[in-house]
Amino acid sequence: MPSSVTPALVFSQLLKNNQPQAAAWVTGNTSAPQLSGLVKFYDTPYGGILIESELFGLPNIQTSGSSDFYAMHIHENGDCSQSFTKTGEHYNPQHRLHPYHAGDLLPVLGNQGYAWEAFYDKRFSISNILGRSVVIHSDSDDFSSQPSGNSANKIGCGMIRRV
């Protein structure tokens, strides 16, 4: 008989308890001044990380009924100054081609400016990403263009910090 405790049940409990080990408060730059939100990182008993993001004020907020994809990546540096020009490249400790960087995350689906998602990733640990940044881009990631998926301008950024 299969176990009745699945990873999804464990993940839902982690989210319900709302005790992440790290988080990034994302804010927008002049291209997306309304953008803000929180990306949380939870350790799991499966050796990976549960990532939950909630974003407000994405650029499609003014278009009724709209939905758009936005790239979300972990970048090498946690420096979100100067319109996010100091974040460096995607976090890529194994020097792989895009989209196989550890920092290549699932795209964000914004619905009239709002997005929420949660997913599991086993390519890094909390300690690997502390001090780095979460970056939101103005376009979706095409998952093929080198070096970073042709995801256009950085519109949101937040440094990953221990909670």
What is the count of structural domains for the chain?
A: 1
> What does the DSSP 8-state code read for residue 90?
B
Establish if 148 belongs to a structural domain: yes
Establish if 90 belongs to a structural domain: yes
Establish if 103 belongs to a structural domain: yes
CA 38 to chain CA centroid, nearest Å: 9
Structure confidence by residue, pLDDT tens digits, 65-117: 778 999 999 999 999 999 999 999 999 999 999 889 999 999 999 999 999 99
Distance (Å, whole) CA 60 – CA 67: 7
Residue 61 pLDDT grade (very low, low, confident, very high; cuts 50, 70, 90)? confident
pLDDT for the residue 62 = 79
Establish if 57 belongs to a structural domain: yes
Structure confidence by residue, pLDDT tens digits, 33-44: 999 999 999 999
- Which residues form the domain of 86? 18-162
Distance (Å, whole) CA 127 – CA 99: 22
Q: What's the CATH number where 138 sits?
A: 2.60.40.200
Cβ-count burial 12-35 (b if 16+ within 10 Å, e if not): eebeeeeebebbbebbbbeebeeb
Task: Output the pTM of the full model.
Answer: 0.94
Establish if 5 belongs to a structural domain: no
